[in-house]
């Protein structure tokens, strides 16, 4: 993986973030908020954080800013609209007798530098209407289009999709 | 509440069916992945929502399941797509002169 940039080292806020994530996961899995579970979960999360954080350099891509949760919420809203549109679009294609598809491959550049940022962007592209992330090379994501209508500038269309997600992802990921 | 839950379960089943249909109808691996990933992701989320309405006390675990599905499903699809891309398999192209090409793909390497 020589083409992926070095991750920045984790800082103390990142350790706190990983701890909070693990703790939240514990509480969701336990499903109750008794004092017993809160204390035990805290201890387990602390141990897990200390042991696993050196291997979780991918979390270095998270921007810990005060407005990050707002961007995350906006991203989720944007993402779910795209997901539902993708499904209706795919349902229409599958059900129409002529199977209106015309596949093609396009590469798109991304401004997100962290591994986590690119992962999220590639995942988002996979779940949007008519596109599938095939490969990530450096800062280029290879995208498969299910319907490349002749006459449409695919490069521009792909950039537009990526830019829509990047605008929201950039708020909380590097 | 029961009716709403049933509705979401039905939508989930419908999208699972669509995705299976897509797997059958699409001509090559890339397009099968396209059909499979999207519909199954939304179908599974719809299932989870329906079950959450039926058993509200399970919401925390269901939320975790939904999160994992949302995160791992596209990763799995992209991994398969990357593998066949690195193996040198090209995407299927519709032959311009032959509108019936769909019924008889010249060479189905993905099979």
pLDDT band at A45 (very low <50, low <70, confident <90, very high): very high
Contact A87 B33 (CB under 8 A): no
CA distance B86 to A19: 37
Distance from CA of A173 to the nearest CA of B (A): 16
Q: Running DSSP on this structure, what letter comes out for residue A4?
A: S
Which residues does chain B have within 8 Å of residue A104's beta carbon, measured at their own beta carbons? 91
Is-contact A125 A132, C-beta < 8 A?
yes
Question: What is the value of pTM for the model shown?
Answer: 0.80
Whether the per-residue pLDDT at A6 is higher than 70: the answer is no
CB burial readout A79-105, b (16+ within 10 A) else e: beebbeebbebbbebbeeeebebebeb
- Tens-place pLDDT, residues A86-140: 888 888 888 888 888 888 888 888 888 888 888 888 888 888 878 888 888 888 8
Facing residue for B30 by CB, picked from A27, A122, A132: A132
pLDDT in the model for residue B3: 92
User: ipTM score of the complex?
Assistant: 0.78
- A79 closest CA partner among B22, B60, B74: B74
Contact A126 B37 (CB under 8 A): yes
- Tens-place pLDDT, residues B32-69: 888 888 888 889 999 999 999 999 888 889 999 999 99
pLDDT in the model for residue B54: 92
In B, minimum Cα distance to A124 occurs at B74
Q: Hey, is A109 helix, strand or coil?
A: strand
* Chain B interface, best mutation among A90, A100, A124, A150, by max B CB count within 10 A: A90
- A3 closest CA partner among A110, A105, A157: A110
């Amino acid at each position: 993986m020589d083409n992926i940039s070095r991750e920045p080292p984790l800082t103390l806020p990142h350790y706190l973030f990983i701890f909070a994530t693990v703790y939240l996961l514990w509480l969701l899995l336990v499903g109750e908020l008794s004092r017993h579970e809160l204390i035990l979960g805290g201890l387990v999360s602390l141990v897990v954080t200390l042991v696993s954080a050196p291997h979780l350099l991918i979390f270095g891509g998270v921007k810990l800013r005060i407005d990050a949760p707002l961007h995350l919420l906006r991203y989720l809203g944007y993402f779910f609209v795209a997901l539902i549109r993708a499904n209706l679009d795919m349902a229409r294609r599958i059900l129409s007798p002529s199977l209106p598809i015309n596949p093609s491959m396009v590469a798109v550049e991304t401004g997100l530098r962290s591994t986590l940022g690119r992962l999220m962007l590639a995942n988002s592209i996979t779940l949007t209407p008519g596109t599938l992330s095939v490969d990530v090379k450096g800062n280029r994501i290879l995208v498969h289009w299910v319907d490349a209508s002749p006459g449409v500038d695919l490069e521009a269309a792909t950039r537009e999709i990526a830019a829509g997600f990047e605008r929201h992802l950039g708020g909380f990921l590097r | 509440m029961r009716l709403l839950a049933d509705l979401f379960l039905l939508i989930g089943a419908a999208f699972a069916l669509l995705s299976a249909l897509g797997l059958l109808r699409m001509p090559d691996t890339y397009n099968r992945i396209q059909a499979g990933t999207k519909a199954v992701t939304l179908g599974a989320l719809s299932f989870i929502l329906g079950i959450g309405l039926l058993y509200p006390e399970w919401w925390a675990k269901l939320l975790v399941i939904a999160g994992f599905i949302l995160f791992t499903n596209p990763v799995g699809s992209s991994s398969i797509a990357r593998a066949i891309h690195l193996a040198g398999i090209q995407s299927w192209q519709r032959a311009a002169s032959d509108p019936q090409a769909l019924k008889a793909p010249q060479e189905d390497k993905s099979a």
